[in-house]
Amino acid sequence: MRRIVKYLIIVIIGFTVGFLIVHIINRYGEKKEAETRIQSLPCVSFNSISGIPVNLHEFDQTKPLIIIYFHPECEHCRYEAREIGQNAPAFHHFQLVMVAPDDSLQRVEKFCSETHLWELENLEILLDTENQFKKVFGNAVIPSVYIYATNRKLIKIFFGETKPQAIINATKNSLTSN
């Protein structure tokens, strides 16, 4: 009886380790696919505040595109948004797109009002109501910043709270090369 229990435990541990190895390999493959997929701006749509689907390719292609993935209840996102709002003139050469995985229009509007984002003319707020962002961009950290040049090739990714100066510095090459 003890031999059977011993073998059963070994088999269970073996299956568990095998499952974990397969899971890790699959996650690594998905991460690599997402990294490759986002090297050029993906063709993905999110909903505008008014509920109209907006594709990322519809934005002005004469300006670099800065995509910020945020959540209205995230303190790091609030800090980043306030800093961008306070440095608005430095961002006037860019198209800013902020994507929220939150389906609460009231929370998003309150966030934009409190951080003075409505004052930015070159900003579009989009709602990811169908969880497309993570499917396309991979498991993104909140907040994340994706910067694309005018040719819609990825310049830089920032994960976590990012100071506006770091974003501006990353985009300088795209402005001088155009």
Q: Where are the domains of the chain?
A: 1-37, 45-176
pLDDT at 174 > cutoff 60: no
The stretch 153-170 carries a mean pLDDT of 87
**pLDDT confidence of residue 69:** 92
What's the CA angle centered on 80, arms 138 and 125, to 5 degrees?
Answer: 65
pLDDT at 105 > cutoff 90: no
Burial annotation 28-67 (CB, 10 A radius, 16+ → b, else e): eeeeeebeeebeebbebbbbeeeeeebebeebeeebbbbb
**pLDDT confidence of residue 137:** 85
pLDDT at 33 > cutoff 90: no
What's the CA angle centered on 155, arms 58 and 95, to 5 degrees?
Answer: 35
CA-to-CA distance for 140 and 159, rounded, in angstroms?
8
pLDDT band at 176 (very low <50, low <70, confident <90, very high): very low
Least confident stretch, 24-28, 107-111, 125-129: 24-28
* Domain topology for 45-176: Glutaredoxin (3.40.30)
What's the CA angle centered on 41, arms 141 and 111, to 5 degrees?
Answer: 45
pLDDT band at 146 (very low <50, low <70, confident <90, very high): very high
Residue 148: strand pairing partners: 65, 154
**pLDDT confidence of residue 103:** 66
**pLDDT confidence of residue 114:** 84
pLDDT at 67 > cutoff 90: yes
pLDDT at 178 > cutoff 50: no
pTM of the model: 0.77
